[in-house]
Amino acid sequence: MKKLGGKYPLIVEPYPEDYTGYEFITLLKYNDETFLNIIDNVYDKEIITYVLDLCAPSGVDAELILSIAQSWFYNNKDQHPISVEFSKLQLSRETQKIMRCFPVAYVSRVIGPLPQYAMDGPVKVKKRKRKIIPKNIEFINKTRYRATT
């Protein structure tokens, strides 16, 4: 059991022994409702997922999503989340319609894989404040000096 962001540990269960479906699909129980998902990533307090139950109402081709997910699962699942695969194929706008974020505190049960990727944000570069040069100090701008010679 993993204790991510909620008060109680998240119950993650393996598939039943007689399960013969896709290995990348996860059943998620959120607020007493169950959803079929492809989990993108799990952060400290939320699970980012593509809800397959929303494909038909949103007009998203479920067969295309499943074929891309199957290819990703067998080739690249250890390298990056499935959202990167959708982005490579320029399907981010289409799959955005079925993407949801579930707070871990309200997810009571997970059956299937729950991948976690260490995705760091952009690196912040700390810039120093520009100091004003006093008037009594001579300053030669070397970039201009080199350009004129």
Q: State yes or no: pLDDT of 3 exceeds 60.
A: no
Q: State yes or no: pLDDT of 132 exceeds 90.
A: no
Q: 55 is in which domain, residue-wise?
A: 11-148
Q: Decide: helix, strand or coil at residue 28.
A: strand
The reply to whether 127 falls in a domain is yes
Per-residue model confidence (pLDDT) at position 26: 93
The Cα angle at residue 104 between residues 101 and 108, in degrees rounded to 5: 115
Q: What are phi and psi of 65, to 5 degrees?
A: -60, -45
Per-residue model confidence (pLDDT) at position 1: 47
Per-residue model confidence (pLDDT) at position 139: 76
- Give the Cα separation of 54 and 56 in Å (integer): 6
The reply to whether 139 falls in a domain is yes
- The more confidently predicted of residues 58 and 121 is 58
pTM of the model: 0.73
The reply to whether 3 falls in a domain is no
The reply to whether 1 falls in a domain is no
- Segment 61-84 shows an average pLDDT of 91
The reply to whether 124 falls in a domain is yes
- Give the Cα separation of 75 and 85 in Å (integer): 11
Percent of the chain with pLDDT strictly greater than 90: 46
The reply to whether 5 falls in a domain is no
The reply to whether 86 falls in a domain is yes
Edge-first strand listing for the sheet containing 99-103: 11-13, 107-111, 26-30, 33-42, 46-51, 99-103
Q: Which is nearest to 37 in space by CA: 93, 114, 103, 94?
A: 114
DSSP 8-state code for residue 2: B
